[in-house]
Structure 1
């Protein structure tokens, strides 16, 4: 009865693995690391969105050039119905419609129509540098958006490479736990033989069944983690199928790229982004300094009026609907020099505010350099430690393999007990995982070094 339970358990586990593998193969797609990077940078919606924003910022330069160099020409026509009661005098025109014409002798509420049409040209011919400053701000905004796109693109590439590494390690972990499950199954089979012959007690078979369950759970967890990393990489490269990495061999060897301690970081996208933001803020400062300078404008107009009030406001002189026809025609031209006398105080305070923003942007660059220096030191330490650890784990693996085989032989001959064999098996499993992790750590350190240098090719060029 116990034997049937064991067989049914093994069949259920095998069926689960086969079903999962079969379903996965149907949905998987093979992908090289460099191809994954290209797919991600071409398909990621966030990158496409930032690219559109960058294109819009470039187009805004043309808008600024057009608005500051081309005069405005407005053509208008209006018609209305109103009375003509009027007084001579000055008033503040805010919220009040202005009225033309001589004062009326009294109030006459008989309305008449009126009309007006004009063409008005207005051109700010001389702005003492304000036009150029506005164009420079638009250019700095476009450069800042371009730097933001470069930073987002670089970070997305790094995320893809990192996810690819995680997925490779997950595959190795699944393979290790699969082999461990096979070892437990072999030991279970042998313990049953030894129990039937009386060499080992029957309780060993029950203990091996427990170990088989533990090994199966470890394998299931490893497979779950593998699928999670597949889904994460799938999101980054924007593909419908689950990605399966093709470049698997390089994780089985250590990278050999040299690591320098250059702290200039001039080509790192995050530093270039910070510098572009400083330039943008400084260009806004220059625009503010120009904003309280005078403006010399040239204007010209041709206009006409029509009115139903022919003369005075006598009811006999009111031609109600004649005002819709234009009856008086005029033209005019001139220049205007406007100086915002009270603008200086406002601009002074705005300039102080913008200067603080510039200082903040500069400090952000220093903070980014400090973070990059720390990351570089971490990368160096991790890389060197991984090389040393890899050497030790290789020796640990050889020792673990030898110890397990020796202990398995001793157990099969009745010279070792169950705890000794299980301990040797655990040591071997840990050694196998440690070897893969140490290699993975070395490649992760190299990737971090690529982040510090702002160049993903430092990592990609190591892929053989």
Structure 2
């Protein structure tokens, strides 16, 4: 699963509803915060088209199983036909493919005049015993169903990771806006202070121009981050199916505390991707089993009852009106067992192909396990380092804050120039943003670890505390 990277998007204007959401009070309970994320995940599960696609495909596979199970039901066909044809016939054997048979004794010669005929029949055919063929086909259909269910579960799991990642992106940008706004406030204060000092003759006029330039730059930076906020919200909206749940709750406290490091170890056997690989192996092995069973004999029971009419009498006389009514009636029952004696030689290459496909799927499962174990270790290490960085980031901020206040006082006293104030302000601004980003990185690393462990509860159990 790829790590989401926060991009820079073109500016997109907010709707009135979005603006209203940003004006909501920031004091919200942990339950509200957790509940809204649950609503996002639920909405995505219900509305996102790809997830609905997988659900429909799984439902289709369920009916495929029922179809194979219905193979035990006998075949019963009712038919009725009328015809107008010649009756020329000749004795002898002929291979029936592509030849329409004619009943009756041989004719003395060719007579091209047609006579009517009719027939109706009821035929029953049943294969009660297939020596394991039907059972193998049912098992194969169930194996494909399990693969479809595993594919649906993996799609849902991955999409939930994407939704949470997009939500974290949006929360980060929303929180960074406060940092950018605070930087504007500082720029406005410094500009006003410089204007006062310039007016009193304590500072040169260039200071006022320099601080005004800094104020303008801070406003442009805010516009840029607001553009990213709009884009991340729209990206989140797409992931939940085009419509966000009502009552958008911004978790402003998320980037003020760090998730815990001790998560315990989760076995990879329950990871949705591993389950999909196992289902693929099982389906391929069942397909091989079904192929091998296809060369076994089949026992067929049949019965029939039918009536027949012909415009030609037993003595060869022609009476066309007799062809439209039934003159003779018959019934029959029987059993047949068929052995495909040479089918094994024809299917051997197909068996070998399926054996190789099954072996390939087992190796693919081993590769998936190896990759996930590696990614799991990397994610655990990244999470620990991200937590360590998040623990250190506030110290940098406090130092920058102290430096800024001291330099601001020295500037007011005329001891330093405007450049030092601007540098200190930028350092404070970057430090404040670094704190937010470091906390975001810790939560994002936790999400990655939960994703590679195949257990989103590792993240959800800590979110919203």
TM-score by length of 1: 0.90
Shift in Å, 1:27: 6.8
Say which SS state the counterpart of residue 320 (structure 2) adopts.
Answer: coil
The answer on 1:323 being equivalent to 2:319 is: no
Distance 1:214 1:159 in 2: 33
Give the aligned partner of residue 237 of structure 2. Answer: 234
Q: Unpaired segments of 5 or more residues in structure 1?
A: 1-18
Give the Cα–Cα distance (whole angstroms) in 2 for the partners of residues 456 and 122 of structure 1: 53
- 1:253 pairs, out of 257, 279, 283, with 257
In the TM superposition, what whole-angstrom CA distance separates every residue of 1:402-430 from its partner, at most 9, and x where no partner exists?
11111111122221112211111111111
Query: Per-residue deviation at 1:225?
Result: 0.8
2:60 is aligned with 1:56: yes
Which structure 2 residues correspond to residues 26-425 of structure 1 after superposition, within 5 A?
Answer: 26=20, 32-67=36-71, 69-238=72-241, 240-241=243-244, 244-260=248-264, 264-311=267-314, 317-425=317-425
| Mapped partners of 1:339, 1:79: distance in 2 | 36
Give the equivalent residue in structure 1 for 2:18.
Answer: 24
Cα deviation, 1:52-73, whole Å, max 9, x if unaligned, reads: 2222222322221112x11111
Query: What CA RMSD, in Å, does the superposition of the two structures yield over aligned residues?
Result: 2.1
In structure 2, do the counterparts of structure 1 residues 309 and 368 end up closer, same or farther at CA, with 3 Å as the change threshold?
A: same
Return the offset for 1:92: 2.9
Contact 1:375 1:448 in 2 (8 A): no
Q: Which moved more, 1:204-213 or 1:322-331?
A: 204-213
> How many Å separate the matches in 2 of 1:363 and 1:412?
71
Scaled by the length of structure 2, the TM-score of the pair is: 0.90
CA distance, structure 1, for counterparts of residue 105 and residue 279 of structure 2: 60
- Give the stretch that moved more between structures: 88-97 or 275-284: 88-97
Structure 1 range deviating more: 361-370 or 434-443: 361-370
The answer on whether the counterparts of 2:281 and 2:358 sit within 8 Å (CA) in structure 1 is yes
For the 8 Å contact 2:75–2:125, the answer to whether it is kept is yes
Give yes or no for contact 1:60–1:138 (8 Å, CA) kept in 2. Answer: yes
Residues 87/284 of structure 1: CA separation in 2 closer, same or farther (3 Å cut): same
Q: How far is the alpha carbon of 1:389 from its aligned partner?
A: 1.4
CA distance in 2, matches of 1:132, 1:113: 47
Please state how far the C-alpha of 1:23 moved relative to its aligned partner. Answer: 5.8
Can you list the C-alpha shifts for 1:31-78, whole angstroms capped at 9, x where unaligned? Answer: 7222222222233232233222222222322221112x1111111111
Is the contact between residue 163 and residue 233 of structure 1 (CA under 8 Å) also seen in structure 2? yes
Deviation of residue 20 (structure 1)?
Answer: 5.8
TM-aligned CA distance change 1:117 to 1:156, over 3 Å: same
TM-superposed CA distance for 1:107, in Å, is 1.1
Equivalent residue pairs, number: 441
CA contact (8 A) 1:32 1:246 kept: no
| CA positional deviation for 1:275 | 0.6
Say if 1:111 and 1:320, in contact at 8 Å, map to a contact too: no
Please report how far the alpha carbon of residue 250 of structure 1 lies from its aligned counterpart in structure 2 after TM superposition. Answer: 2.9
CA offset digits 1:247-291 (Å, max 9, x no partner): 3323311111414455x4011111111111111111111111100
Q: Which runs of 5+ in 2 are unaligned?
A: 1-12, 25-31
